[in-house]
Amino acid sequence: MSGNNNMFKKVQDYIVNSQVWKAVFRTGIPRTRRQRMMVVLNGVFLHLHPVRLPKHAVKVKYTWCMGGLSFFVFLVLTITGILLMFYYRPTVEYAYGDIIDMREQVPLGIMREIHRWGAHLMVITVWLHMFRVFMTGSYKPPREFNWSIGVILLVLTMLLSFTGYLLPWDQLAIWAITVGSNMAGATPFAGTGGPGANLLAIGDVNFVTSTSDAKFAMLGGRFVGEGALLRFYVLHCIGLPFVIMIFMIVHFWRVRKDGGISGPT
């Protein structure tokens, strides 16, 4: 036994003392207090955190872990989303079949399931995160602005989920989008079905018509069709993730800059 342990120790020492290991992990195995602090300070990802925290801030009872989980689920959605893009073609002709094939013809065909349920989960975790932040009064100064950023993140989360809803091109999809886009068409002054639109006219020439209103901009056509599918696809895969990423960076940055996680003062 002790020989085995010795052997293990030797190998470990060899690895830990090798040039490669030392180049990657500057601080070594974090055993001492100093090393543990350095790990957080030096790592690009761990540096998201401060080095030390008041104890209440790590209690799950207090934080519910929901903010972190939202971010984690977002990462899961990004990864599975990229994988789904390999098999999905955003055209009216192929979209539905590709979605079916993802389950039936692709090995480990639960990628779409993870993506779909993950999307639901993210909406729930974001809601609960906001719930917690409200209940602890964490939006109070100096964190007011970060709460507002958080609201934008909530809206973006729901928009991401909404744009993804159309992509399977099934009955559920087109009718949800039909209703949604008709709401956009009812925007005051910017949609043909909304109040004020027919006031924006010179004589008989209307400025807001069914080919120049908010609904059209959303669908790329007058009905939910090829144009809408493509627009929603691009927004879902590139446009909105890009925007939400920017706001997430601001959100995390401000958590730190506003004094870390909230606590009694």
Among 9, 10, 26, 52, binds another protein (CB under 8 A): 52
Closest CA to 162 of 95, 233, 213: 233
Count the site residues for another protein by CB under 8 A.
Answer: 109
Closest CA to 188 of 178, 198, 202, 180: 198
Give the other-Cβ count within 10 Å of 211's Cβ. Answer: 10
Compute CA 246 distance to the chain's CA centroid, rounded to the nearest angstrom: 11
Helix (H, G, I), strand (E, B) or coil at 39: helix
Among 25, 28, 56, 87, binds another protein (CB under 8 A): 56
Given the rule CB under 8 A, which of 2-10, 15-23, 216-224, 240-248 is the region that contacts another protein? 216-224
Interaction of residue 235 with another protein, rule CB under 8 A: no
Residue 225 contacts residue 218 (beta carbons within 8 Å): no
Interaction of residue 93 with another protein, rule CB under 8 A: no
Residues contacting 117, CB < 8 A, separation 6+: none
Among 25, 28, 79, 178, binds another protein (CB under 8 A): 178
Looking at the Cβ atoms of 6 and 91, the one nearer to another protein is: 91
Q: Which residue has the tokens 């872990």?
A: 65
Residue 232 contacts residue 163 (beta carbons within 8 Å): yes
Interaction of residue 233 with another protein, rule CB under 8 A: no
Looking at the Cβ atoms of 134 and 242, the one nearer to another protein is: 134
Residue type, 127: W
Interaction of residue 186 with another protein, rule CB under 8 A: yes
Please tell me whether the peptide bond between 30 and the residue prior to it is cis, using omega within 30 degrees of 0: no
Interaction of residue 216 with another protein, rule CB under 8 A: yes
Interaction of residue 32 with another protein, rule CB under 8 A: no
Burial of residue 3, with CB atoms counted within 10 A of its CB: 0-12 exposed, 13-18 middle, 19 or more buried: exposed
Interaction of residue 147 with another protein, rule CB under 8 A: yes
Looking at the Cβ atoms of 90 and 185, the one nearer to another protein is: 185
Give the other-Cβ count within 10 Å of 123's Cβ. Answer: 17
Looking at the Cβ atoms of 22 and 54, the one nearer to another protein is: 54
Residue type, 63: T
Which residues in the 61-90 window bind another protein by CB under 8 A? 61-62, 64-65, 68-69, 72-73, 76
Looking at the Cβ atoms of 152 and 243, the one nearer to another protein is: 152
Looking at the Cβ atoms of 67 and 241, the one nearer to another protein is: 67
Among 155, 200, 245, 249, binds another protein (CB under 8 A): 155
| Smallest distance from another protein to CB 265, Å | 6
